[in-house]
Amino acid sequence: MGLGKIKGHAALIGANVIWGLYAPLCKDLLNAQIIPPLILAGIKTAGAALLFWVLWAVFRIVKPSHTISKEHIEKKDYLKILNASLMIIAANQIFITLGLKYASPVDGTVLCGITPFFTLILGVVFLKQKAGLIKNLGAILGFAGMLLFVFGSDVNTAMHVSNPVLGDTLFVLSQVCGAIYLVFSGDILGKYSSFTLMKWMFLISAVIMLPLYVPDVMALDWTLLSTDMWIELGYIITFATFLAFLLLPVGQKQVSPTTVAMYNYLQPVVTATYAVIFGLAQLSMQTIVATALIFVGVWIVNRDNK
């Protein structure tokens, strides 16, 4: 295995471990009921946008000839970038953060892996793509697991799971947004570097979300946040919303799409381990069965794509 492949695998492991820790840490921060979900979604989006643009400015000074420094968005793609920003950043982040308020972080991480099912459906309906028997079987298994999660979870006030049906539904909606982004933004994904897209999409999303979080951010009593909460907030902005999005393209360039998808299975494992140890979630047989159905369904869909 060459150095490039090793870097690719390491980047994917790092990104998925970071995202695996994100859900329980975000759940713990929301449990304190100091920072509301919409404010947290806005803060992390704006914070990540700031970091992307700071890094871009550094590249402009240090490496002015680098692609990151000189790549520009063509005018004809402005509307596509706006639509992509709404789907994969603004709506996606809002739904996930709101979902974590009501449901288990384990549910959130597992359900965030169902994007391939909705991508398949949208591709068939709008792009007239063909889905064979194997893909359909994978989709059916995955949806069975999704329904088991959404309608089978119980309220658990000790774990701050106040409305699992609502929370899990919000997780599902976040993945519908992700699928819309993948299906209808394919041309710009191949046209521009991931950094350029993230730089603009996070900025656009932060501006769009301003009315949702700026008034309340100004009124928030930041002195109520403990040291642990500041660390969690810093992790959410710097690692889960910025660094992981930098690592993911490194892996995508070095390994196959199927391998990238398989690494996504790390996230629920990391989430469940952390959440159970620190009392943020519990595993039931129903959770295990639903997770297995989704995992097998995603594996079948992605294996067929290969």
Closest CA to 114 of 52, 169, 74, 67: 169
Least trusted range by pLDDT, from 54-58, 73-77, 122-126, 289-293: 122-126
- Domain containing 186 equals 3-305
Distance CA 272, CA 270 (A): 6
Stated pTM of the model: 0.91
Nearest alpha-carbon partner for 141 in 305, 302, 271: 302
The domain total for the chain is 1
CA distance linking residue 52 with residue 168, whole number of Å: 30
**pLDDT tens string 64-115:** 988 788 899 999 999 999 999 999 999 999 999 999 999 999 999 999 888 8
Amino acid code (one letter) for 19: W
Mean pLDDT to the nearest integer, 177-192? 87
Which of helix, strand or coil describes residue 116?
helix
